[in-house]
Structure 1
Amino acid sequence: MNYQLIQFDVREGVARLTLNRPDKMNSFNAEMHAEIRHALDSIQTNTAVRVLVLTGAGRGFCAGQDLADAEVRFTPGETPPDLGDVVERHYKPLVMRLSQLRVPTLAAVNGIAAGAGASMALACDMVLATQSAAFVLPFANIGLIPDTGCSWHLPQRIGQARAMGLALTGKKLSAQQAADWGMIWDAVEDAAFASTVDALAAKLATMPTKALVRTRQAMQLAHTHTFEEHLTYEGTLMRELGKSADYVEGVSAFLEKRAPQFTGE
C-alpha cells in the first residue's frame, strides 16, 4: 500500500508507525484507519519486527475521530450516522490488532492524546509521553461514552473512581499526573523524549519477544480468572516458553556470564 496518512518503516527490529495528518492533529478518518490496519497486518507476517512504536507527526499524538470525516459528518436535522457501525468497522479492528499483535507495542505520545487517540495509546503495552503532553476524554461532552477500549483499559489502570472522574468531566490530565496515577509508564522531558523512546524501543527489540507478548496475554486475562485458574494459565505459558529457543539462550547466557542474543523464537 502507498501510505498517504501514516508513515511506516522498519529498522533494526523496530517498526515505527507515525500518524501523519498534523494539520488535523492526526485525527482519524476512514482512509487513515485502512492504512493503520494494513501496516499492523504487515507486522504480523514480518518476523524481522520485534517491537512497534506508535506516535504522531507534528505537535500532537492524535485528537481522536475527525468529525468532518464523511462517515460521521451530519448537519442538524439529518439522521446521524450509525456510530456503532463505525466502531465495528474501524475502532474495534484497530484495538483488537494492537491487543493481539505478535510483538510488544509502545505508544510514544508526543502531544495531546484526545478521545480515541487516548484510547489507542492505552491499548498499547507501554506508554511514554512528553512532559508537555496531556490526555483528554471528551466523549461525554458530545453525548458519547469512552470507546476504542478505553472503558475497559482505563479502570484497570487507574481504578474506577479516577476513571469515572476523567470520563464524566472530560478533564485534561497532564502526562506527569497520568504517570503518577499509573495510567502510563512515564512522562519524559520533551528534549529527551525522542532519545528515550529510541532507547526503550531498541531494548524491547532485543528481548525475548514471545515472552513479552505472553506477559501481555497473562495480564489481560488476570481479571477474568479466579486465582487458581490464573495459576493454571501461568503454568501453561511457562510450559510453552520453557521450550523456546530464547529461554535456552537466556539461561545459557546467565550461566556463561555473557549478554544473551535473543531471536524472538
Structure 2
Amino acid sequence: MSSIQVDSKEGIYYILMNNPETRNSLDLAMATELYEAVREANENPSCNAIVFLSKARAFFSSGPALDELIELSTLQNGAALLSEVVEKLNQVILEIYHSPKLTIAGVHGYAYGGGLNIMLACDYRIAEEKAKFVENFHYMGFTPDLSASYFLPRYIGLSHTMELLLTGRMFTAKEVADWGLFHDVVEKRAVMLERIDTLCRQFVQGEVRNLQRMKELLRTSFYSTLEEHLDKEKRYLSDCLKYPELTGRLKNVAGMSLTN
C-alpha cells in the first residue's frame, strides 16, 4: 500500500503522508515515495505550488521508526542500513529546498524529530497551535540529523535551538509562535487549510517563473559581497523584461495605485 497520496487542484499539488499503521514514520518506503512525489511535482510544468500535509488529523509524522532503529542498533551492518534511510531523506530535503515551486508545510497533530525536520526546507511553514514537537536526539543517543542543526539555528537562533536539543522537551507550535520556526500559527486545522489555499491563490497572481531566482537571491545574500549581489539583482531584474506579460502586470499595479 502506498504511503503517499498526491492530489492536484489548479496547479497546486498536495502531497499527503498517509500511513496510519506507522503514524507516517520515516522509514525507507516513506522516504522513497516522498522523494518520488516531490521530484515529479518539481518536474511538472503545470505545478506552481507543493503543499505537504498528513492525511490523518491526529498526527503529521511520528518521525523515526523506533522499532527499526532498535533493530538496527543490534545489527553488524546497522550503520550502513541507517545511512541508506537517512540518505534518501536527505534527498527529499534537497528536492524541497531546491524546488522551483512554492513549497508549504502544513503541520498538525504531532511531528516528532525528523517528522518536522524534513519540512524545515519549505518556503512557508504553518502549524496548528496545538501541534506538538520534540527534538530528543540527545536522549535517543544520536546527534541531530535531517537538517535540524542547519535550519533550526537559522530560524530560531542558537540559544533556542540549544535549549530544545539539550532538554529534549515537548513543545507546541503556540509556545514558539514568535520564534520564527513557523510563518503562521493558527487555532485549528481548518483555518490552516484555508490560509494555505489563500496563500497559493495569491502567489499564482504574480510571476511564478521568478520564484526560483527570488529564492536564490535571498539565500546567496548571506554569502555574497554587496557588489556581487547588486550585480546579480541587476541581471535578474533585466531578465524579467523577456516576459511579454510584464507590461500588463505593470499596468495593473499602476491602475491599483491610482485607485488607492
TM tier, smaller: 0.7 to 0.9
Which residue does 2:18 correspond to in 1?
Answer: 20
CA positional deviation for 1:246: 5.0
TM-score (norm 1): 0.86
CA distance in 2, matches of 1:244, 1:152: 36
Q: 1:239 to 1:169 in 2, by over 3 A?
A: farther
- Aligned pair partner of 2:151 in 150, 153, 165: 153
Give the residue type in structure 2 aligned to 1:167: L
Cα deviations across residues 54-108 of structure 1 (Å, max 9, x unaligned)? 0112111112121334xx55266533333334322x1221111001112010000
- Determine whether 1:215 maps to 2:214: yes
Q: Quick check: 1:86 aligned with 2:85?
A: yes
1:135 aligns with 2:124: no
Counterpart CA distance in 1 for 2:236 and 2:166 is 38
Output the CA distance in 2 between the equivalents of 1:182 and 1:225: 24
Matching residue's letter, 1:110: H
Q: 1:26 to 1:234 in 2, by over 3 A?
A: same
Q: For structure 1, which segment, 177-186 or 238-247, has the greater mean C-alpha deviation from structure 2 after superposition?
A: 238-247
In the alignment, the residues of structure 1 paired with residue 139 and residue 124 of structure 2 have an alpha-carbon distance, to the nearest angstrom, of: 28
The amino acid across from 2:161 in the alignment is A
C-alpha separation in 2, matches of 1:77 and 1:11 = 46
Mapped pair 1:175 → 2:173 = yes
Equivalent residue in structure 1 for 2:105, among 101, 104, 107: 107
1:262 alignment partner in structure 2: none
Q: C-alpha separation between the residues in 2 aligned to 1:77 and 1:254?
A: 63
Cα–Cα, structure 1 residues 246 and 61, in superposed 2: closer, same or farther, change >3 Å? farther
Task: Tell me if structure 2 keeps the 8 A contact 1:118–1:137.
Answer: no
1:120-141 CA-to-partner distances (Å, cap 9, x unmatched) read 2211000010011123212111
Please say if residues 55 and 61 of structure 1, whose CA atoms lie closer than 8 Å, have aligned partners that are also in contact: yes
Letter in 1 for 2:15: L
- The answer to whether the 8 A contact 1:18-1:55 is kept is yes
- Give the secondary structure class of the aligned counterpart of 2:66: coil
Pairs aligned (count): 253
Contact 1:52–1:104 (CA under 8 A) maintained in structure 2: yes
Name the CA distance, whole Å, in 1 between partners of 2:85 and 2:72: 18
Letter in 1 for 2:38: L
Cα distance change on mapping 1:235 and 1:6 into 2, 3 Å: same
Relative distance call for 1:157 and 1:247 in structure 2 (3 A) is farther
Contact kept? 2:132, 2:173, Cα under 8 Å: yes
1:74 corresponds to: 71
- Give the equivalent residue in structure 2 for 1:166: 164
Instruction: Give, as a single letter, the amino acid of the residue that structure 1 aligns with 2:140.
Output: I
Mapping of residues 223-262 of structure 1, within 5 Å: 223-245=222-244, 247-257=246-256
Task: Give the equivalent residue in structure 1 for 2:201.
Answer: 202
Distance 1:219 1:63, change over 3 A: farther
Among the aligned pairs, what percent are the same residue? Answer: 28
How far off is 1:44 after superposition? Answer: 2.3
Q: Which amino acid in structure 1 is aligned with residue 116 of structure 2?
A: A
* In structure 2, distance between residues paired with 1:110 and 1:95: 19
Q: SS state of the match for residue 180, structure 1?
A: coil
Aligned residue for 1:34?
Answer: 32
Any gaps of 5 or more consecutive residues in structure 1?
A: 259-265
Amino acid aligned to 2:141: G
In 2 relative to 1, CA 172–15 (structure 1 residues): closer, same or farther, beyond 3 Å? same
Task: Name the Cα RMSD after superposition.
Answer: 2.2
* Distance across 2 between alignment mates of 1:223 and 1:138: 30
Residue deviations 1:162-219, cap 9 Å, x none?
Answer: 1122122222232123321111101111142222222223322333212333222222
**73 and 159 in structure 1: CA distance in 2 versus 1, 3 angstrom threshold:** same
Give structure 2 stretches of 5+ with no counterpart.
none
